[in-house]
Amino acid sequence: MDVVHAEDTRTRLLGTALRLFTEHGVEGTSLQMIADALGVTKAAVYYHFKTKAEITESVAEPVLRELEGIVDDARAQRTRGAQIDHLLDGFVDLVVRHRALVALFSSDPGIARAVEKSVHSSESFKNRLLEVLVGPDPDLTAIVTAQVLLAGIAIAGGSPEVAPLDDETLRETLLGVGRKLYNRPRRRT
């Protein structure tokens, strides 16, 4: 198996795994099912991943890395307002583009455990994410507001009710909710 081909198979494998996880849950999906859906042997799956846990981590990892980048970029903005805008824009965009995975995050403990494991220092990352929204000296309302916002956007964005919406419409709608909670003006487009 040459390297380019292997890379291609790996990408297809992760896409197929995500689809099967969404349909059957992580628990209900076997390596054999993934192999069958791809039309390859179980040995071909093993070439890339030894366990299902490795697959769930690899499915979640790029999205989490992207989120870390958004948080870092947001923290680098010079005003509180710009930091909040950057995080809202980035977080909503991430949720919308990865709706299927986000829905899975919110409903399946298998992938939730994979996320915990991927975000190595997950507690400190979560704190950095919250800190962008709540500022350096937050009161209680700020902390609870941030949690309602992040959880609400993630769950609503991954819910079956909004599945028919195209990305742009869902993005603008979720952003509208976030901006309202944070008293941010509508984005200059």
Q: Which is nearer to a second copy, 40 or 155 (CB)?
A: 155
Q: Which is nearer to a second copy, 38 or 181 (CB)?
A: 181
Minimal distance, residue 70 CB to a second copy, in Å: 19
Minimal distance, residue 10 CB to a second copy, in Å: 28
Q: Which is nearer to a second copy, 100 or 165 (CB)?
A: 165
**Can you give the binding site for a second copy, defined by CB under 8 A?**
25, 106-109, 112, 140-141, 143-145, 147-153, 155-156, 159, 161-162, 165, 169-170, 173-174, 176-177, 180-181
Q: Which is nearer to a second copy, 68 or 172 (CB)?
A: 172
Minimal distance, residue 144 CB to a second copy, in Å: 5
Separation CA 64–CA 162 (nearest Å): 22
Minimal distance, residue 35 CB to a second copy, in Å: 25
